[in-house]
């Protein structure tokens, strides 16, 4: 279970790091959403640009079945690569927003 706890720490740290970058967009703030009990980790943009509401997911990662599943990556960064560099084995990182039948082409975990 140690790896699961280390995965939690790594993913939490990554989400917090991305939140600290902030956003140059109007009155938009970055919000960290972490549910350690259910292993959901997210980063949201929330606020206003002029009179337009901004509310959306920037990054969503779940821990499930011993794997770190990248459910959404709205950044221009290679989040999977960063997770591996932080110590998570490549086979335990799943690019879950890709269709299951092509995940094996990513070089990361499939499931």
CB–CB of 111/94 below 8 Å? Answer: yes
pLDDT level of residue 38 (50, 70, 90 thresholds) = very high
pLDDT level of residue 42 (50, 70, 90 thresholds) = very high
Sorted by sequence, the CB contacts under 8 Å of residue 99 that are 6+ apart come out as none
CB–CB of 42/33 below 8 Å? Answer: yes
Q: Which domains are delineated in the chain?
A: 2-106 (3.30.310.110)
Q: What is the pLDDT of residue 26?
A: 75
State the DSSP H helix or E strand holding residue 28, giving kind and residue range, or none if neither. strand 27-35
CB-side exposure of 39: number of CA atoms within 13 Å? 17
Sorted by sequence, the CB contacts under 8 Å of residue 9 that are 6+ apart come out as none
């Amino acid at each position: 279970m140690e790896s699961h706890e280390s995965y939690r720490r790594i993913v939490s740290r990554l989400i917090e790091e991305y939140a600290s970058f902030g956003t140059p967009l109007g009155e938009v703030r970055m919000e960290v959403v972490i549910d350690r009990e259910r292993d959901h980790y997210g980063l949201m943009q929330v606020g206003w640009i002029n009179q337009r509401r901004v509310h959306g997911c920037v990054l969503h990662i779940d821990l499930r079945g011993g794997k770190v599943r990248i459910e959404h990556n709205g950044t221009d960064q290679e989040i999977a690569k960063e997770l591996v560099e932080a110590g998570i084995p490549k086979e335990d990182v799943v690019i879950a927003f890709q269709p299951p039948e092509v995940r094996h082409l990513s070089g990361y975990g499939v499931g």
